[in-house]
């Protein structure tokens, strides 16, 4: 086992097999140091490792389900075995589900709480004290523009991202005097597997709104994190969406979001028990 002083600083990306996490790993790799890639898919991790190597970094892959028991301790053990410590933690693992909260399976919805909230919080609180003691490094937590409003037909997801933003910004305020940064990254729609996983590829919210490239989001995230930013909202359209969400009264905003996210197969909001497309949308109850 290495002594504390022998350990090298690593960027640890949770949710690195695809999407935004994988893109952040690629960008972080340009600094030339170790990048630890974690997710469940070994295939995705191997592909990410090749990209990190190409970008000039030193990849380490660790296949794990962050919902498993004692994840932070397992990550820590992996790091110590390889002579590394967690200098930067990127919490990008997360998912959403599109659909009426009363119709989606409860366990699947609670999985959002477990992954997007519990696992992210546990990892952050485990590694942050070590960063503060070293007076260096920090955390990038993936929130979303969804954090700025309640989100009918993606209720659990929007609520989870609201938690991430509030938590991340609060602890940034607590730890930033030590030189440690906690950055909340809040993108709008990004072209990744996220919408397919959420069952939202046909929702107007996804089809109508402009989507950013994951690489663009990652470049903004890394630059903003390195300059100590508390909140990053990449792209003009996302910043406009946040501005609108702050400006519009809930009586206008929430029906608008519901409309953008509802599908004809959701239960009709009138409570008839029929599908929306066979009930109120069809003009009869």
Ligand X SMILES: NC(=O)c1ccc[n+]([C@@H]2O[C@H](COP(=O)([O-])OP(=O)(O)OC[C@H]3O[C@@H](n4cnc5c(N)ncnc54)[C@H](OP(=O)(O)O)[C@@H]3O)[C@@H](O)[C@H]2O)c1
Angle at which helix 214-226 crosses helix 19-29, to 10 degrees, equals 50
Instruction: Answer yes or no: are the C-beta atoms of 38 and 64 closer than 8 Å.
Output: yes
Catalytic (active site) residue 216? no
Instruction: Answer yes or no: are the C-beta atoms of 90 and 11 closer than 8 Å.
Output: yes
Given the complex with ligand X, which of 260 and 279 has the nearer CB atom? Answer: 260
Span interacting with ligand X, options 124-132, 171-179, 192-200, 260-268, rule CB under 6 A:
192-200
Return the residue of 17, 149, 168, 181 that touches ligand X, per CB under 6 A: 17
CB of 135 to ligand X, least distance (A): 28
* Integer Cα distance of 170 and 283 in angstroms: 47
CB of 116 to ligand X, least distance (A): 6
Laid out side by side, the sheet with 231-232 consists of: 58-63, 34-39, 8-14, 84-91, 138-142, 181-185, 231-232
Q: Interface with ligand X includes 187 (CB under 6 A)? A: yes
42 φ, ψ to 5°? -65, -40
Comparing CA positions, the residue from 7, 63, 49, 11 lying closest to residue 33 is: 11
Total interface residues for ligand X by CB under 6 A: 28
Considering the candidates 157, 158, 195, 276, report the single residue annotated as catalytic: 157
Positions in 64-93 near ligand X (CB under 6 A): 65-67, 92-93
Q: How far is CA 69 from the centre of its chain?
A: 20
Return the residue of 61, 124, 144, 168 that touches ligand X, per CB under 6 A: 144
Given the complex with ligand X, which of 7 and 126 has the nearer CB atom? Answer: 126
Which residue minimizes CB distance to ligand X? Answer: 19
Span interacting with ligand X, options 13-21, 132-140, 148-156, 276-284, rule CB under 6 A:
13-21
Q: Interface with ligand X includes 193 (CB under 6 A)? A: yes
Q: Interface with ligand X includes 189 (CB under 6 A)? A: yes
């Amino acid at each position: 086992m290495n002594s504390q002083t022998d350990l090298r600083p690593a960027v640890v990306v949770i949710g690195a097999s695809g999407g935004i996490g994988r893109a952040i790993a690629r960008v972080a790799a340009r600094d030339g140091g170790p990048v630890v890639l974690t997710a469940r898919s070994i295939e995705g991790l191997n592909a990410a490792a090749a990209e990190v190597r190409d970008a000039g970094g030193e990849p380490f892959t660790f296949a794990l389900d962050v919902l498993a028991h004692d994840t932070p301790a397992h990550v820590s053990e992996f790091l110590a075995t390889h002579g590394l410590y967690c200098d930067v933690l990127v919490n990008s693992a997360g998912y959403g589900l599109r659909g009426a909260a009363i119709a989606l399976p409860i366990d699947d919805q609670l999985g959002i709480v477990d992954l997007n909230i519990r696992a992210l919080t546990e990892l952050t609180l485990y590694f942050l004290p070590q960063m503060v003691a070293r007076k260096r490094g920090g955390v990038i937590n993936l929130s979303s523009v969804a954090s700025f409003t309640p989100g009918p037909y993606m209720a659990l997801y929007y609520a989870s991202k609201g938690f991430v933003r509030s938590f991340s910004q609060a602890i940034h305020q607590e730890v930033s005097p030590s030189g440690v940064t906690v950055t909340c990254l809040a993108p709008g729609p990004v072209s990744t597997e996220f919408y397919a996983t959420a069952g939202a590829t046909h929702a107007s919210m996804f089809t109508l709104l402009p989507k950013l490239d994951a690489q663009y989001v990652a470049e903004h995230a890394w630059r903003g994190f390195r300059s100590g930013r508390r909140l990053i909202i990449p792209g003009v359209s996302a910043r406009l969406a946040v501005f609108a969400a702050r400006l519009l009264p809930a009586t206008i905003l929430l029906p608008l979001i519901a409309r953008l996210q509802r599908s004809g197969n959701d239960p009709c909001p009138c409570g008839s028990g029929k599908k929306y497309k066979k009930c109120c949308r069809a003009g009869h109850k």
